[in-house]
Amino acid sequence: MTLRWIVVPVLALAMAGCAPVGIHQKGDDGDRKLDPITVRVSGFGTYEDVSGDRLNTRERLLARRASQLDAYRNLAERVYGTVVYGSSTVNDFVLRNDMFRTYVDSYIRGAKMVAVNEHSDGVIETVMELKLEPRFRACVADVSDRQVQDLCPIPMPRDNDSTGDVQSRNVDSLYYLD
């Protein structure tokens, strides 16, 4: 009987000593202030014939457009992810065919073109950035990965997007200028 009076408090003290300190419950994110995140990507395009097409205005514009579209694709991949399909064929323990395909389907708005650089080797690089507002981050934290694209559209930056999540002044345009 005395042993039980000694062992039970010692075990209770040992259990209390192993308990985590502080609150570890998942609470409401409303009390936590999220900061905007700026995602920056690069896209690349080039000429078909670097030496001859560099002087052709049409080819230069097409290469620039290719780099811009590549930047948009990279931005969509960074924000929403990429679906990858793959298959491999093995015959007699030898890999015969290995192929994969990627798929990106998303809606990006509010992206800004930061710079367009033409390198000496004929590659045109477009740098774009997108500010992910706190309400987008809060939405992403609350839904499953498969539902992010459907339930969490990227909100348009309002007013001056350098300040983050601010109120709009009756602007219905999808385009904005700094």
Q: What is the pLDDT of residue 1?
A: 62
Mean pLDDT on 2-14? 71
Residue-number span of the structural domain to which 70 is assigned: 42-131
Identify the CA nearest to 150 among candidates 119, 90, 106.
Answer: 106
The per-residue pLDDT for range 65-111, each reduced to its tens digit, is 999 999 999 998 888 878 788 889 999 888 888 888 887 777 787 88
Token pair, residue 112, equals 């800004």
Q: How many CB atoms lie within 10 A of CB 82?
A: 13
6, part of any domain? no
Report the domain count for the chain.
1
Q: Could you write out the DSSP letters of every residue in 83-136? A: EEEEEEEEETTEEEEEEEEEE------S-EEEEEEE-TTSEEEEEEEEEE-HHH
Q: How many CB atoms lie within 10 A of CB 154?
A: 23
Q: What is the pLDDT of residue 40?
A: 94
pTM comes to 0.61
152, part of any domain? no
154, part of any domain? no
Mean pLDDT on 134-150? 78
111, part of any domain? yes
164, part of any domain? no
105, part of any domain? yes
Residue 33 has pLDDT above 80, yes or no: no
100, part of any domain? yes
17 φ, ψ (degrees, to nearest 5): -70, -25
Whole-number Å distance between alpha carbons of 68 and 47? 14
Residue 45 has pLDDT above 90, yes or no: yes
